[in-house]
Amino acid sequence: MTTADPPAAAPAAPRPARIRRHQWLAVLGPAVRTPRGAVGLALAALVALVAVAGPFVAPHSPDALVTLAYGKPSAAFPLGGDFLGRDVLSRVLAGGWLLLLMAVTATAIGVAAGAAAGVSAAYLRGRSDGLIMRTVDVILAFPQLVFALLLLSILGPRLWLIVLAVGLTHAPAVARVLRSATLDVCERDFVKVAELQGMRPAAVMAKEILPSLSTPLMVEAGLRLTYSIIIMSGLAFLGFGQPPPAPNWGTMINENRDGLSLNPWAVIVPAVLIAMLTIGTNLLTDSIGRVALGVDRRPEEAALVDDLGLSAGGGR
Amino acid sequence: MTTGGPVAAVATGPAGRDGEYRLAVRDLEIRSGRGGPPVVSGVSFAVRPGDVLGLVGESGSGKTTVALALLGHTRRGLAITGGEILLDGADLLRLKPGEMRRLRGARVSYVPQDPAAALNPALRIGYQLREALRVHAGVTRDPQARIAEVLREARLDTAPDMLQRYPHQLSGGQQQRVGLAMAFVCRPSLIVLDEPTTGLDVSTQRHILDTVRSLCRGYGVAAVYVSHDLAVVSELVADVAVMYAGRIVEAGPAAPLFSRPLHPYTRGLLASVPAPDGAARLAGIPGQQPPPGQRGPGCAFAPRCDLALDRCRAREPEPAVLAGRTVRCWRAAEVTPRPAGHGQVTVAAPPGRTVLSLRAVSASHGSVPVLSGIGLDVPARACVAIVGESGSGKTTLARCIIGLHRNWTGEITLHGAPLAHGARQRPREVLRQIQCVFQNPYTSLNPRKTVGQIIAEPLQRLGGLPRAGLAERVARALDDVSLGGGFASRYPDQLSGGERQRVAIARALAVEPDLLVCDEVTSALDVSVQAVIVELLRAVSAQRHLAMIFITHNLALVRSIAQFAVVLRAGAVVEAGPADRVLSRPASEYTARLMADVPRLATSPPP
């Protein structure tokens, strides 16, 4: 590519200091203003609100046997009773926060480990690259759910183990994406300038390269969060979650499916909440990716995103 | 040419006179969005069959936007909101999309800047050429014969299997010839060339220009040649239109316009063009062009103009016809046209003791040898220019010196002490002594850091400076490159290309190096900015007794900055010596040919 005719400077409109300091806001802002992003954020936020605030507003104890087994909805029990006669509404309200927390933690572990592996592989090249990426390939060869189940059946259903297992199985995919994004950033001259200033490799990666990866990091985090939620609830459905009688949306679907014809709400409500959450996080992630790629953005925002070098495949 | 020049005629003449023109553009206006500010406005020009019109201007002037509009196309977010584009008397802008599509390629064709990007890498050349004829069926009855003919015209017939090849099997020059052949294969009436020679070496560029000229002449094709390179344009075109901030500021026959510019912008632009045959002082133009669509009420050039009056700032001048030219300047009539003068400079300095010395340096990329047996001495207070075509190994040489390319043999010494191969093995003190400015200021500054942080970094790491007093040193470093301390809190994306490159220079100079390596530092910049940067580099290197290595493919720049010149070819030194001697009395045939191919500002009409 020839560089003889650089694109015209964007209008030098003063930008809010907040966006300057936290440049990921420059992508997130436009993303949540697209219809897709707005719907995604609304869905995810609604479910998160139910999960977080739920335990405090639940009318009954989630474990108390207060109504009939598979009792029909009534004024006192709007969603009826579950297979033991516990209040479904209370269990729905109380059963989300741990699922959400575990999904978020697993995502954080996965993205952090994957980013560390991917960025170092791309920056260090050579033997480190080979070693890291071949390890990644090996982990990638295990199906995620099977790997988690394998660990759990060996070591027993412990919550921290579920989180760790799901997190670690996310890492390889994250590592691959960030490796290719980093290869692009590494070619930019400011990285070479940092090396010429005698900066250590770790510092170059953390201070020079990582800030330019905020977009792929955001997209990956969103994507992995969606998967985490699915796997976490799937594991809970299979019985690898909190042991009963603790409420959990995934467990609830399994427990109450026999009474589907008697009180369908005990299955439908947790299932819909999980679906809303995953669809929400997925839509939001999608909108971030589309804004960064330039599919869904207004021209004035395009200039901002391009200037900050936030484009996913970006870079000149 | 008299007052009846094509441009003047369109600005004033009645509609009935368009007959003699192949293309006539009138009052073209392009806005960003339907209601947005105009990005291009009041653009009028006309081209006769067989003539080439040069549309020149710096980046952001709107020249490419106008060129694309000639094909009825605008970039996303832009819309043609006014004016007319008459091709053989019919307005292109009134055509239905289907009609426009049939017109493109057949009667109006386009040659893009980067042929490598324009050709489909998965299809053979022959297929791509036939495709154009297939889409526009009826252009010719015998496609094979037409393709053979156009290959001959584009001088591509030397290789027998040309049609069987894929684009990546061709050189850059051949790729651009294929681009030309595709543009000419349907025998268009109008051809739009968007900087078709920008990425090419001078010799290739010369051949392409000759081809364009003869093809346009031969078939009576009207051509619009978009370029930022005034020297190239002056050698090729009959008429020229200079664009600034979305308007044509001066237009007319090329030779008188280049020898006696009327508009202050044209004059500034011409004074910025380096002259290959002398050590010219490059004047440059201070300040920068307003971004597209953001012009004030007055003349857009007024803030940068040394002749500006209150009137210029208050109201925009209308185009006026003067001496056979259309000029948009209030003071064009009062200001006597004067030749775009170049002051001479002496770049001869008493060479000091040797700072950097290369002995038998050979380097390779993997197993491919890139440099072989390079020997070179850089004395203190001197600038050594390293010139050569692309692929000659200039940049690899720079990367060996600064320690980014580690795969070399031989010896490089700094102040007599041998240098380690990679930057990581070199002590901090050595890293401080050799500083580098990179080619592309758009990638050499971390977009996530403020200018202040960018400059403070080497001061802390290499200069060992404590935090206290850092801000002051940063401000001083910015002053040295005439930016001012106020820039410290800005981010790179708030700066123009020239300003970014100054920041990169300030970063390099802040730690007071002994040797500054400049790798094509001006090739990403506009010519008026290039002039300012070159002058800045010359001034600081003289002030600080700095040794400098100035790598460039632009031979015209060499004598304006360097005392010594080294000509590289295919990784070996062809010729080295005092810059004046090497360039004016080259000992090798290669250098002589390079010099002959350098485009020069032509002040007499092209042949």
In terms of CA atoms, which chain B residue is nearest residue A299? B77
Query: Can you name the CATH fold of B6-107+188-327?
Result: Rossmann fold (3.40.50)
Cβ <8 Å between A196 and B447: no
For A21, the closest chain B residue by CA position comes to B448
Instruction: Report chain B residues whose CB lies below 8 A from the CB of A11.
Output: 291, 293-294
Q: What is the pLDDT of residues B324-340, one digit of tens each?
A: 888 888 887 776 655 55
Mean pLDDT, chain B, as a whole number? 84
What percent of chain B is modeled with pLDDT above 70? 93
Listed residue (B270, B189, B264, B193) closest to B227, CA to CA: B193
Ranges under pLDDT 50 in chain A: 1-15, 299-316
- CB nearest to A188's CB, from B64, B428, B443: B443
> How many angstroms from the chain centroid is the CA of residue B177?
20
Instruction: Find the closest chain A residue to B425 by CA distance.
Output: A198
Instruction: Kindly report the backbone phi and psi dihedral angles of residue B25, in degrees, each rounded to the nearest multiple of 5, phi listed first.
Output: -110, 130
The predicted model gives B215-233 an average pLDDT of 89
- Strand residue runs (E) in B438-529: 515-519
Does the pLDDT at position B581 exceed 70? Answer: yes
Concatenated DSSP letters of B172-225: HHHHHHHHHHHHHTT--SEEEEESTTTTS-HHHHHHHHHHHHHHHHHHT-EEEE
**Residue B447 carries which side chain, given as an amino acid letter?**
P
B149-160: pLDDT as tens digits = 888 888 887 667
Q: How far apart (Å, rounded) are the C-alpha atoms in residues B154 and B151?
A: 5
- What pLDDT score does A61 carry? 80
At B347-395, the pLDDT tens digits run 555 667 889 999 999 998 888 888 988 998 998 888 999 998 888 888 8
CB pairs under 8 A between A and B: 112
- pLDDT at residue B15 tops 50: no
pLDDT at position A315, please?
A: 32
pLDDT of residue A23: 66
Opening angle at CA B289, ends B288 and B295, nearest 5? 130
ipTM field = 0.75
| Residue spans per domain, chain A | 25-96+247-316, 97-213+225-240
State residue B385's pLDDT score: 93
Lowest mean pLDDT among A203-212, B273-282, B556-565: B273-282
Q: Does the beta-carbon distance from A4 to B497 stay under 8 Å? A: no
Mean pLDDT, residues B577-597 taken together: 89
Q: How far does B179 lie from chain A, in Å, by closest CA?
A: 16
Q: B466: Cβ–Cβ under 8 A, 6 or more apart, which residues?
A: none
pLDDT at B85 over 90: yes
**Contact call for A6 and B59, based on CB within 8 A:** yes
The CATH number of B355-442+514-594 is: 3.40.50.300
Quick one: pLDDT at residue A314? 34
What 3 state SS string does B6-18 have?
HHHHHHHCCHHHH
Helices (H) and strands (E) in chain B, counts: 21, 24
Find chain A residues with C-beta within 8 A of B490's C-beta.
Answer: none
pLDDT in the model for residue A1: 35
Residues of A in contact with B444 (CB under 8 A): 188-190, 193
Q: What is the pLDDT of residue A10?
A: 38
d(CA A76, CA A180): 56
The mean pLDDT of B293-306, rounded to a whole number, is: 82
Q: Per residue in B175-193, pLDDT tens?
A: 888 988 888 888 899 999 9
Please give the pLDDT value at position B490.
86
Write the CB contacts of B52 (distance below 8 Å, at least 6 apart in sequence): B212, B213, B216, B223, B224, B225, B236, B237, B238, B239
- φ, ψ (nearest 5 deg) of residue B357: -140, 130
**CB spacing of A10 vs B424 below 8 angstroms:** no
Residues paired with B383 in a beta bridge? B548
- Per residue in A19-61, pLDDT (tens digit) is 555 667 777 888 888 888 899 999 999 989 988 888 888 787 8
Rounded mean pLDDT, B404-432: 90
Q: Is the Cβ pair A299, B33 closer than 8 Å?
A: yes
| pLDDT averaged over every residue in chain A | 79
Token duo for residue B7: 């441009």
Task: Give the residue range(s) of CATH 3.40.50.300 domains in chain B.
Answer: 6-107+188-327, 355-442+514-594
- Cα of A202 to nearest chain B Cα, Å: 13
Contacts of B462 in chain A (CB under 8 A): 197-198
The pLDDT of residue B508 is 92
Predicted TM-score of the model (pTM): 0.80
The separation between CA B534 and the C-alpha centre of its own chain, rounded to angstroms, equals 15
Task: Compare CB distances from A6 to B436, B448, B497 and report the shortest one's residue.
Answer: B497
Predicted pLDDT at B10: 41
What is residue A9's predicted lDDT score, i.e. its pLDDT? 37
Mean pLDDT of B507-518: 92
pLDDT of residue A219: 86
- Closest residue of A to B32, CA-based? A299
Instruction: Give the range among B119-128, B237-246, B289-298, B585-594 with minimum mean pLDDT.
Output: B289-298
Q: What is the pLDDT of residue A303?
A: 47
pLDDT tops 60 at residue B9: no
Q: Please state the three-class secondary structure of B419-454 as a single string.
A: CCCCHHHCCHHHHHHEEEECCCCCCCCCCCCCHHHH
The pLDDT of residue B342 is 54
Chain B hits for A195, CB-CB cut-off 8 Å, are 404, 423-424
Q: Cβ of A197 and B442 within 8 Å? A: no
Higher pLDDT, B136 or B593: B593
| CATH number of the A97-213+225-240 domain | 1.10.3720.10
